[in-house]
């Protein structure tokens, strides 16, 4: 295991922000991870576990040790009459995991195709897209408790999953390193077309054409048509969470904006599109210097050149202020700002 000093993190974050890590280590397996966390030379250092770097915005150098997990095994764990359990290491690229499932005839995860990042980060954020959240298919999450050095497994119902939230972002933040995730997928082939763009995509198609493989192709096609490739243009995908507002507030808005779509979150609350709010403020495609709102998707902030993390943060605050002033709604960051 090589531990380097003063390493640029630009290649390791999709915003392509150039900051320096005091120490940087790539860890291949669990024994190396435990060895590193027990190392007296680094035990007092601030730690950051880095996955694909797709949901993080650095605003300064990291004065501590950045640990990148590179474990990358996927295996069928076991099965029952109704379900198949697939175990994936934290270092597995998320879309590679989705492809593995679809290629092996499994359904339930195809709506989450092409989301950037690694498997280990998926439960933290409770990633979601096109009507599916990863909590819907997670059986349990395994990892290492940093202080005790014990490996433990946390079942789904103890992960406190909520919209873009989990126990790993709160009580266990910086205390627990996810090393693998166990997924539970149904043997019965069933696809989810509840999300309008997907439903429209398959409108008029024969039932035999609506397979998990074709849904994956559709999701990839839709995402590529409106989202920038982080390999080409620095971004972290959706920068803001979709806000959840009261039914009364929603009814007030649709009386003025008939094209506003809402999705029931509870009996008294509705989730609406942050991208729609931003677009209504006239900010889609807006650019200031090296930072801008993407021209095809208002939820995405992009780094057009060598923007600093602080420039991106200030730009995001401008967006929040514009939305607040026009709609009296606050939109929260989805991206983790450091």
Task: Work out whether the CA dihedral 171, 174, 175, 181 comes out positive or negative.
Answer: positive
- Residue 138 parent element (H or E): strand 138-145
Give me the residues paired with residue 48 across strands. 66
Examine the residue annotation and report whether 216 is marked as an active-site residue of this protein: no
- Which of 114, 112, 117, 116 is closest to 138 using CA atoms? 112
Q: Cα(216)–Cα(52) distance, rounded to whole angstroms?
A: 21
Query: Which among 107, 180, 238, 316 is annotated as catalytic?
Result: 238
Backbone angles phi and psi of 124, in degrees to 5: -60, -50
Place of tokens 């966390």: 37
- Which of 69, 59, 81 is closest to 15 using CA atoms? 59
Query: Hey, what are 319's tokens?
Result: 């967006």
CA angle 148, 149, 155 (to 5 degrees): 90
Examine the residue annotation and report whether 334 is marked as an active-site residue of this protein: yes
Backbone angles phi and psi of 196, in degrees to 5: -55, -50
Query: Which among 107, 180, 273, 334 is annotated as catalytic?
Result: 334
Q: If 0-12 CB within 10 Å is exposed, 13-18 middle and 19+ buried, where does residue 75 land?
A: exposed
- Which of 14, 19, 15 is closest to 6 using CA atoms? 19
- Residue 68 parent element (H or E): strand 62-69
Please compute, for residue 136, the number of CA atoms within 13 A of its CA located in the half-sphere on the CB side. 17
Q: What is the DSSP code (8-state) at residue 70?
A: -
Q: Cα(96)–Cα(118) distance, rounded to whole angstroms?
A: 9
Query: Which among 164, 180, 212, 316 is annotated as catalytic?
Result: 164
Among the residues of the chain, which ranges form H helices? 30-38, 94-103, 122-125, 196-201, 212-226, 247-254, 274-280, 309-327
What residues are labeled active site? 164, 238, 334
């Amino acid at each position: 295991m090589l531990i380097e000093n003063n390493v640029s993190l630009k290649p390791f974050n999709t915003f392509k922000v150039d900051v320096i890590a005091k120490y940087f280590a790539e860890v291949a397996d669990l024994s190396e991870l435990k060895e590193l966390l027990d190392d007296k030379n680094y035990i007092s250092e601030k730690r950051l576990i880095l996955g694909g770097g797709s949901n993080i915005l650095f605003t300064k150098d990291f004065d501590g040790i950045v640990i990148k997990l590179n474990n990358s095994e996927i295996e069928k764990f076991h099965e029952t009459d109704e379900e198949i359990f697939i175990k994936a290491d934290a270092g597995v690229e998320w879309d590679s995991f989705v492809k593995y499932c679809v290629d092996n005839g499994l359904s339930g995860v195809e709506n989450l195709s092409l989301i950037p990042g690694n498997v280990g980060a998926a439960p933290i954020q409770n990633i979601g897209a096109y009507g599916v959240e990863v909590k819907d298919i997670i059986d349990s999450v395994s990892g290492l408790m940093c202080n005790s050095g014990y490996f433990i497994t946390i079942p789904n119902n103890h992960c406190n999953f909520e919209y873009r939230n989990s126990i790993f972002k709160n009580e266990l933040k910086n205390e627990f390193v996810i090393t693998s995730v166990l997924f539970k997928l149904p043997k019965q082939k069933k696809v989810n077309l509840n999300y309008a763009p997907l439903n429209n995509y398959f409108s008029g198609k024969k039932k035999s054409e609506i397979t998990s493989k074709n849904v994956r192709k559709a999701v990839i096609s839709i995402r590529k048509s409106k989202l920038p490739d982080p390999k080409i243009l620095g971004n972290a995908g959706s920068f803001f969470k979709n806000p959840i507002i009261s039914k009364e507030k929603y009814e007030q808005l649709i009386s003025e904006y008939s094209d506003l779509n809402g999705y029931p979150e509870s009996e008294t609350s509705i989730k609406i599109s942050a991208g729609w709010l931003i677009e209504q403020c006239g900010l889609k495609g807006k650019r200031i210097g090296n930072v801008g709102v993407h021209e095809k998707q208002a939820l995405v902030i992009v780094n057009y050149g060598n923007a600093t993390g602080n420039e991106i943060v200030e730009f995001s605050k401008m967006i929040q202020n514009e939305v607040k002033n026009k709609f009296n709604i606050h939109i929260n960051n989805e991206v983790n700002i450091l």
